[in-house]
Amino acid sequence: MLILSGGKDEKVKPAINSIRYAVIGLIVIILSIFVAPKVGDLLGLNVSKYVSPKVIFTTIQDLSGKLLGNKDTIDISSGSSGGNNTLPADFSEL
């Protein structure tokens, strides 16, 4: 939108607002990744093993590896729980 505005103020302002809202949205998402586990733990929900930044970034890394064909399964273990914590490669058994 900014490139196609041609310098016209009535077209530049919406483009700048779109960029501003996108940056604000990214900041909110990044803050929520770090704040949500702490709030959940304060409420006694013990959600940090599922939504901690380490687990989120590991899952993103595993999914990107899966998309690039590097892995057959995704390991979602957090280290403290036992049992089988591996998702099937095609998610058909969920």
What is d(CA 69, CA 89) in angstroms, rounded to the nearest whole number? 11
Contacts 24+ apart (CB under 8 A), 52-59: 52/78, 54/78
Q: Quick one: average pLDDT of 12-32?
A: 93
pLDDT in tens, 30-85: 888 888 888 888 998 888 777 888 888 888 899 998 888 764 555 555 444 444 55
- Which pLDDT score is estimated for 80? 46
Listed in sequence order, the DSSP H helices in 6-91 are: 9-42, 48-51, 53-67
One-letter amino acid at 57 equals: F
pTM above 0.75, yes or no: no
**DSSP SS3 for 45:** coil
Q: Quick one: average pLDDT of 13-22?
A: 93
Q: Quick one: average pLDDT of 4-11?
A: 84
